[in-house]
Structure 1
């Protein structure tokens, strides 16, 4: 039987972000604070809110908590039915936060609605790439996108106006076509990595070509390029669970390969402008704003985060709780607790040090994510997502 977790975390704790890599505490927070508006740029035809305000909200992970691939986990439907009224309307602010990124929010909302037998609106979905729509600094620049699915449509829906795909580079930059200037795509100045591609070797080769030529893959490599194109990487999950009995390689594994190739060829570390998706602060800040939008722009006192991955769901929720503890305005508005829940294997040991993978569990976090044992501790262990919802409702009933 799988078990799950829950326990209160009080964000009054005086803890700084020194244990978190600068890519998480600076880049993501900077982009969020400098770009985000009160409405999170949610399209007007997607906006909606609850008929009354609540003091709590819920963030649900999808894969491993509600679904296993395309199969619904039995407890999921029962759990969600307890959060809606007789008209199938949610009684609490609810957001579904997933590191999936091969589709748009509307498609994912329709999929969840169909599988879970409830109505999920697009504004209740946060995909790994969703926060890109607030990074307006890059929207007018030519971006090279890598991933699966309709990557051009995804990028355009997020606000990017000049999009070049890996496939276009592959088609338009063979040696014989280099003289056909009318067919050559615009030179990319930013790289967006949506998710793991289908053909890893092709994407790795062309991404390295672009990085070592500063956006001009038809020219010779510079083993020591003076600058590196900005990279926005979505979803750093090393592994993820589908229907298969063992975890599958995730986008984090592809990023690991890209980092290794770049380091081997240049002697330098690959740098990211921003990392999106759980466990990044930006993703949780973005999700919290959407919860507030549902709640008539009122701050929430407690957010319950339900997930199954220590390095994404639990680490990310605890990291955001730590961030909230340092925000005076958050305290004044009542953001007092961030309760973290998860579904995982309780028999898997937590590593005490990032470099101790030989004798303990291998550290599966992204390269720029510094291991902090405290951030890997879930708040409470329960049996499944239904038990997590029951716990939340019981807590709210006792506090009423």
Structure 2
């Protein structure tokens, strides 16, 4: 069992009942209609804006403060979700309906979005696991030859034997030739876990030929890329539900039980991976450019409900911003202090201008804001005493991320997303223009 750590100590609850701690930075003194804001906002979705399909009441209030009378955002806003079962446009349409403000797909970052920069896998035959339009998602991201677990099962029906009702009545007389599977991508939790676990293990233990005999000594296995490490997430149920992280725990332990070796990931994406925040910061810069801003976005505020995902990730990226000089390029995009072998490495020497821009962040700070409407919920009113602390005794992060108390301590804790927006406006001395919509 892993050591137990006190994770969140001395958290400060901020809102209407407490005074706001102001942070002064050079060049940030914003007047109502005088200067553009120098900050951008990163919003988690589940547990912050919605619970399952039910909108959180504070969400619409908050977003009415972020847009002008024409519905245009007053600062760059990006939605960073660990969900990966739909296309960006679908999620943008859902958010537009929930928040009553127009959201474009360019403002939405799914857990799988950073796969765009892993071009060394785009021409390979990759097995994709998850649910929803996984083939469409893979092709949208640039993969030219994806295949699904279901297609492998259809070619080799004798591989899927757990569900007696789905066992083949007659085994095929001739084998179907599938191309060698050169990599596996885990988009999100599948519907039939036993089928996906079996076939993924088959691929890993046969070097990409799942119908062949297992060769446990064939190590390292074919590359494995995973999105969304969330152990749990918050829907309408009163307790958190299993997330893709639970599926990954199953896969890791099955592989180790069979082989005695550790399952290895080529890359881990989604929060709290630093590459996810690097990509989100790129989207913030892109939105600022579209708004014709002539000053860089200096501070990112990441609003989330999950300490081991949103808070850990934002703090990890803040550490990266402090430690890594952007001139070192994309090969320096390593998770500082995470202990994970995760890097956004662009292998092609002839990088596109798009990749070059992604490699150099302009932000200098990434600050975490924890809300109490999702995974983290104190079940009490916000205390007036700012010394009240929150503790976690079980590490819910992924196996490859080490426990670091500094990374799981939020910069701020507020009741909900509306209070988070109010807090950020006060910290940044930002007053919305008179023409913006009111709550």
TM-score (norm 2): 0.74
Identify the residue that residue 152 of structure 2 maps to in structure 1. Answer: 169
Q: 2:423 aligns with which of 378, 391, 394?
A: 391
Please state how far the C-alpha of 1:225 moved relative to its aligned partner.
Answer: 1.3
Identify the residue that residue 362 of structure 1 maps to in structure 2. Answer: 394
CA distance in 2, matches of 1:333, 1:203: 37
2:363 aligned with 1:335: yes
User: What secondary structure sits across from 1:325 in the alignment?
Assistant: helix
* Matched-pair contact (CA < 8 Å) for 2:37–2:430: no
Cα RMSD, aligned residues only: 2.5
2:309 aligned with 1:312: yes
Which whole-Å deviations, capped at 9, do the CAs of 1:226-266 have from their partners, x for residues lacking one? 33010000000000111111111000000000000000000
2:211 aligned with 1:179: no
* Matched-pair contact (CA < 8 Å) for 2:122–2:143: yes
Pick closer, same or farther for the CA change 1:169–1:7 going to 2, 3 Å.
farther
Q: 2:46 aligns with which of 63, 83, 102?
A: 63
Pick closer, same or farther for the CA change 1:275–1:193 going to 2, 3 Å.
same
User: What secondary structure sits across from 2:226 in the alignment?
Assistant: strand
What does residue range 18-33 of structure 1 map to in structure 2 within 5 Å? none
Pick closer, same or farther for the CA change 1:333–1:155 going to 2, 3 Å.
closer
Identify the residue that residue 64 of structure 2 maps to in structure 1. Answer: 81
Q: 1:215 aligns with which of 183, 189, 208?
A: 208
Which whole-Å deviations, capped at 9, do the CAs of 1:273-324 have from their partners, x for residues lacking one? 0000000001000000000011118531111110000000000000000000
Runs of 4+ aligned residues of structure 1 deviating over 4 Å after TM superposition are: 3-11, 346-349
Identify the residue that residue 264 of structure 2 maps to in structure 1. Answer: 271
Pick closer, same or farther for the CA change 1:399–1:77 going to 2, 3 Å.
closer
What does residue range 1-400 of structure 1 map to in structure 2 within 5 Å? 54-174=37-157, 176-177=171-172, 179-181=174-176, 184-296=177-289, 299-329=296-326, 335-343=363-371, 344-346=376-378, 349-351=390-392, 361-397=393-429
Identify the residue that residue 46 of structure 1 maps to in structure 2. Answer: none
CA distance in 2, matches of 1:395, 1:276: 30
Please state how far the C-alpha of 1:186 moved relative to its aligned partner.
Answer: 2.0
CA distance in 1, matches of 2:145, 2:22: 45
Please state how far the C-alpha of 1:9 moved relative to its aligned partner.
Answer: 9.2
Pick closer, same or farther for the CA change 1:215–1:244 going to 2, 3 Å.
same
* Matched-pair contact (CA < 8 Å) for 1:10–1:338: no
The alignment of Structure 1 onto Structure 2 pairs a total of residues equal to 346
Please state how far the C-alpha of 1:374 moved relative to its aligned partner.
Answer: 0.6
TM-score (norm 1): 0.81
Which whole-Å deviations, capped at 9, do the CAs of 1:317-373 have from their partners, x for residues lacking one? 00000000013449x98734322101133588435xxxxxxxxx2111100010000
User: What secondary structure sits across from 1:374 in the alignment?
Assistant: helix
CA distance in 2, matches of 1:77, 1:94: 15
Please state how far the C-alpha of 1:110 moved relative to its aligned partner.
Answer: 0.6
CA distance in 1, matches of 2:157, 2:238: 41
User: What secondary structure sits across from 1:397 in the alignment?
Assistant: coil
